[in-house]
Structure 1
């Protein structure tokens, strides 16, 4: 890991993202999905909702870091609630 000066948390983050993408690929192959409309009245698939979740979670973490500065594990809890809401209602 020294060739890119990665830290273990960074490596774990990217490993988790790769695992999520793998699971979503398997789900898309095994259980094809038709787009559905949610609260935003746009058609989204699982992949769209995953992208919205990841992008929103990045902004939540950046805002948390800028406003509060510490206790990032609490930001993770906010992100999990946000992800549940996106996958349920968007």
Structure 2
């Protein structure tokens, strides 16, 4: 049924993680409306959804740069991406 795409467990976990994050943000938006807008170190006024988007985009760039410059293993870019995500939700 899903043979049209080469699904692997890491790919499936990535999508599960993204959809889980979106579900958590949806619950937070229902519970605390307004998106928790604030002005961060980049000078942007961002909401929770904006910060999630910046985190995902930055993580993709971290992985692409790591693969282009260093290659494998991918444990270090995972740690860098998690740190980037914490920074984005804390300071951006």
Which aligned pairs between 1:3-82 and structure 2 lie closer than 5 A?
3-32=4-33, 33-82=35-84
- Distance (Å, rounded) in 2 between the aligned partners of 1:38 and 1:5: 39
User: What is the Cα-based RMSD across aligned positions, in Å?
Assistant: 1.2
- Distance (whole Å) between structure 2 residues aligned to residue 35 and residue 59 of structure 1: 25
Deviation at 1:58, TM superposition (A): 0.2
1:12 to partner: Cα distance:
1.4
User: What's the TM-score once normalised by structure 1's chain length?
Assistant: 0.91
- Structure 1's consecutive aligned runs of 4 or more residues displaced over 4 angstroms after TM superposition are none
Paired residues in the alignment total 90
Structure 1 residue ranges without an equivalent (≥5): none
Structure 2: gaps (5+ residues): none
* Residues 19-66 of structure 1: per-residue CA shift (max 9 Å, x gap): 111111001111123411011111100000000000000000000111
Counterpart CA distance in 2 for 1:11 and 1:28 is 26
Q: Greater helix share, 1 or 2?
A: 1
Asked if structure 1 preserves the Cα contact closer than 8 Å seen for 2:59 and 2:81, the reply is yes
Counterpart of 2:41 in 1: which secondary structure? coil
Task: Give the drift of 1:4.
Answer: 2.3
